[in-house]
Amino acid sequence: MSAAVHNPALVPPGISAPAGAGSAGSAVGPAIVDPARFGQLLDARRIGVQFSNHAVQRLHRRGINVEPGTLQRLDDAVGRAAGKGARDAVVFVDGTAFVVSVRNKTVITAVDRDHMRDHVFTNIDSAVIG
């Protein structure tokens, strides 16, 4: 009968595997994650909205700068929309319209004041002024 093979994915972060738990002949040991670093990574995923690649391209192409204050107001507005049960919202902050997937906390696209004139927002169930 062969020795049990250790699966590092099953070891909780910050806990090292028991001695001899690695597979025979394996030079790679279990990954040990610093609990403080894991907490920081987890907090970073919970805080703030994310930007899709499409949204980042639109921001760059249209020269829209998202300052920390704008980002905070956007995040607060998305939180308010989520509290009301919104799924997809357009959030207006500082003359920019952000189309946001509220459930995923992800900005899908952004439109500045100059491009808003002819723009039609579809599949939106909410509007929030941040």
Strand 88-93, strand 96-101: pairing: antiparallel
Instruction: Please check whether residues 58 and 96 belong to one and the same domain.
Output: yes
In terms of Cα–Cα distance, which of 90, 95, 108 is closest to 65? 95
Q: pTM here?
A: 0.64
| 97 in any annotated domain | yes
Instruction: Please check whether residues 40 and 96 belong to one and the same domain.
Output: no
Per-residue pLDDT at 4 exceeds 70: no
94: left (phi over 0), alpha (psi -120 to 50) or beta: left
Instruction: Please check whether residues 41 and 53 belong to one and the same domain.
Output: no
| 2 in any annotated domain | no
Place of tokens 């357009």: 90
Instruction: Please check whether residues 41 and 100 belong to one and the same domain.
Output: no
| 3 in any annotated domain | no
Host domain of residue 29: 8-45
The reported pLDDT for the residue numbered 121 is: 87
What SS3 state is found at 51? Answer: strand
Of the chain, the percentage scoring pLDDT greater than 70 comes to 64
Instruction: Please check whether residues 58 and 120 belong to one and the same domain.
Output: yes
- pLDDT tens, position by position, 28-83: 545 555 666 656 655 555 568 999 999 999 999 999 988 889 999 999 999 999 99
